[in-house]
Chains A and B, each alone.
Chain A
């Protein structure tokens, strides 16, 4: 076994351990200097990214990889945790890494004006990064809950970073209330599973699950809580508060944490409850339709509410709600039709669209938040009513905004178009009306962001913005990185679909290989 193979074998725990250790060391490094701290956090995130890349290449080539913390012999009465990394896990880890890396680059200039609390800021960023990765890599349902809790606490502290602003503290309070209640229900659901099957490992549970009435309750609890954490309407109301009040560099990383909750829904529905597609006691068609109805309401209300917002960041937050609806639309179609052999391919296409849209949504909404942050950085304004003519002074930011606008609205040739097209076409096979509503909402989303383009960037140059200059290079670089990925994904969707999305969807749809791999280890 060469050194590279050893690193790959140890990469699942290292991906968690390195940023976690980095988080605890950051306050100490901060004592040296701010620059040393920034470099240190950069190295930590880059090293984690390198390990994610190695693990991804291995998982895509050789299938799921497991790592056992504790004793391998199940007969021993010891606590142990299994990490189970399949193509979907590494897909999500890649999304999380991109968002964290961009957030870091953006923070170098964006947070530079803050004189106090940056050591805590970077510590919390690394903790949030760790917990999000933990949720995505773990194969243990209780461990998932632990990482979910760490994610909630670190997100809450980051949302309230501007402690001097009442709105930020209020948003953080609402977030922690909602998250804590949700986490308690997750714990309750895990307790119900453990009491029945004496197991916490997802694959083991999937192998022995009997689809009892209690199991149905557990499924509903997970869908409700993780759907709320992902931003499903009408449980979305924390999201505009949190996204709108957190610093933009934080919002982009919280988007990753939100997507991890969505990953939780996928993992529960398709892996833990994957047998429901062949089971008669639980109807996957009805569950699919429940998610479809929630998804279409999410899209509608998200878009309609976005249209009337005058605060730039709240507007993007409502658009983010709508985008989450599109992802759930793809997932809902998959759930509804995968049990029907005649519509299996439609279900897979819908799932590909949904999973592809996870990364596209993260990038598009992330870019728009960075643009909103750039405007706030230079003008100290967030209200669209007080902006105008900024394109004259902020040319690059305007270009990035236009890229984000086209991408989030699903305009060709951007990335959002490719994933939405897959969703539209597949849902059309199930119900054409839902497809038409989804397309109309995309048009409304375009109209919403055209409003922003007009009111913030176009129009006459306002005298009060005479001195406004373009944002520093690190912020432009962060926006540029995301814009470049958006364009690449938009121009080469087939490449991304074949190499990233399809393996993830295949891993999700065929849970038998996931279960057998883990049971082989146990």
Chain B
């Protein structure tokens, strides 16, 4: 009984062509972290807290206030959103916020489905 419970709990998830076992994955990750920790031990030990070493280096520029230093949510992935501006312009036009447009989209999809009825 206990063995079957063990098998049920720790069994691999069969996906058709492969399998997934989180416990095995976690053991592998723990081993990987241990290796990283050992490699880290070979690093230099001259690092000193509470010294100039911990200060941000901004190419000699003056450090801004904390609020200004933090990259805001809307600035993250700026390059991505800028390069897909054309797509976002279309999507923004789609999302008007008008209830009548919401109903329109529903009617459009229903119309397309009705046309497909003839096909199926």
How many residues belonging to B are interface residues under a CB distance threshold of 8 Å? 50
If over half of A's interface residues share one DSSP class (helix, strand or loop), that class is named, otherwise mixed; here it is: helix
A314 to chain B, nearest CB (A): 10
Count of chain A to chain B residue pairs whose CB atoms are closer than 8 Å in the complex? 159
- Set B8, B74, B80, B105: member contacting A237, Cβ < 8 A: B105
B85 to chain A, nearest CB (A): 10
Q: In the complex, are the beta carbons of A237 and B91 less than 8 A apart?
A: no
Q: Known: A422-B15, A425-B18, A493-B22. Is A308-B81 also a contact (CB below 8 A)? A: yes
Q: Known: A221-B110, A235-B109, A412-B25. Is A216-B120 also a contact (CB below 8 A)? A: yes
Q: Which residues of B contact A460 (CB under 8 A)?
A: 66, 69-70
A431 within 8 A of B: no
How many residues belonging to A are interface residues under a CB distance threshold of 8 Å? 73
- Set A177, A227, A421, A491: member contacting B103, Cβ < 8 A: A177
Within 8 A of B (CB), among A414-435: 417-418, 421-422, 425-426, 429
Q: Which residues of B contact A345 (CB under 8 A)?
A: 16
Q: In the complex, are the beta carbons of B73 and A283 less than 8 A apart?
A: no
* Nearest neighbor of A496 in chain B, beta-carbon distance: B13
Q: Mark A215-229, 1 if CB is under 8 A from B, else 0.
A: 011001101100110
Within 8 A of B (CB), among A212-268: 213, 216-217, 220-221, 223-224, 227-228, 232, 234-235, 237-238, 241
Q: Known: A177-B102, A213-B117, A462-B67. Is A494-B74 also a contact (CB below 8 A)? A: no
| Stretch touching chain B among A119-127, A132-140, A190-198, A381-389 | A381-389
A261 to chain B, nearest CB (A): 14
B54 within 8 A of A: no
Q: Which residues of B contact A418 (CB under 8 A)?
A: 13, 20, 22
- Set A286, A305, A389: member contacting B116, Cβ < 8 A: A286
A454 within 8 A of B: yes
Q: In the complex, are the beta carbons of B16 and A177 less than 8 A apart?
A: no
A53 within 8 A of B: no
B9 within 8 A of A: yes
B38 within 8 A of A: no
Complex: A182 Cα to B99 Cα, angstroms = 13
B residues at A contact (CB < 8 Å): 8-18, 20, 22-23, 25-26, 66-67, 69-74, 76-77, 80-81, 84, 87-88, 91, 94-95, 97, 99, 101-103, 105-106, 108-110, 113-114, 116-117, 119-120
8 additional contacts, CB 8 Å, given A174-B102, A493-B13?
A178-B103, A237-B101, A384-B72, A384-B73, A389-B66, A494-B10, A494-B13, A495-B8
